[in-house]
Amino acid sequence: MTSLRLIGAGALLLASALAYADPCKIAIESNDLMQFNAREIVVPASCSEVELTLSHSGKLSARIMGHDWVLARDSDMSGIVNAGLAAGASRGYLPDSDKRIIAATRIVGGGESTTVKFSTAGLVQGTRYAFFCTTPGHSAMMHGMFEFGARARLAEARK
């Protein structure tokens, strides 16, 4: 019985700690090994705006190991990566005013960080979104899943 109470107290502590973190503010890290530190980003449906900060914990310059963070529908990822390749380095490997891009940061190098704010008004719950880096050759390793609302619904169901 005592151990059960302890588990209950621990869960309560965790819940209150989570309540203080703003779930609409996301931080993601990249590095010199062509990696993001997250495979999945979940944003609750209650967020009308998302603030995402991309940092680069490596030492290599943006020209050698630069990364950006781009959000789009999963099915648009390869098309955007190819369009970014065609756009070239001077445009930050991003096609100009491409409607498929939901949000994108600039490219950062080692020690740098950048923040992008975007509205969730155009996001549909249950749709598969992907985040990825458009620097040539990076997206195979640097991509992950972006969910809007799904995990939040699960949490509400547990209440």
Binding track, positions 121-150, relative to Zn ion; x by CB under 5 A = ------------x-x--x---x--------
Query: In angstroms, what is the minimal distance from the CB of 158 to Zn ion?
Result: 36
Q: Cβ of residue 137: shortest distance to Zn ion, in angstroms?
A: 8
Of the pair 44, 110, the CB lying nearest Zn ion is at 110
Alpha-carbon distances of 78 from 24, 75, 101, 105, rounded to whole Å: 27, 7, 12, 18
Is residue 108 involved in binding Zn ion (CB under 5 A)? no
- Residue of closest CB approach to Zn ion: 133
Q: How many CB atoms lie within 10 A of CB 128?
A: 10
What sign for the dihedral angle of Cα 8, 13, 16, 21? negative
Q: Which is nearer to Zn ion, 15 or 64 (CB)?
A: 64
Compute the least distance from the CB of residue 73 to Zn ion, in Å.
Answer: 20
DSSP character string of 56-80: E-SSS-HHHH-B--EEEEGGGHHHH
Q: Please, which residues bridge with residue 118 across strands? A: 50
Nearer to Zn ion, 28 or 133 (CB): 133
Residue corresponding to tokens 């930050």: 92
| One residue of 55, 67, 72, 149 binding Zn ion per CB under 5 A | 67
Q: Residues in the site for Zn ion, rule: CB under 5 A?
A: 67, 133, 135, 138, 142
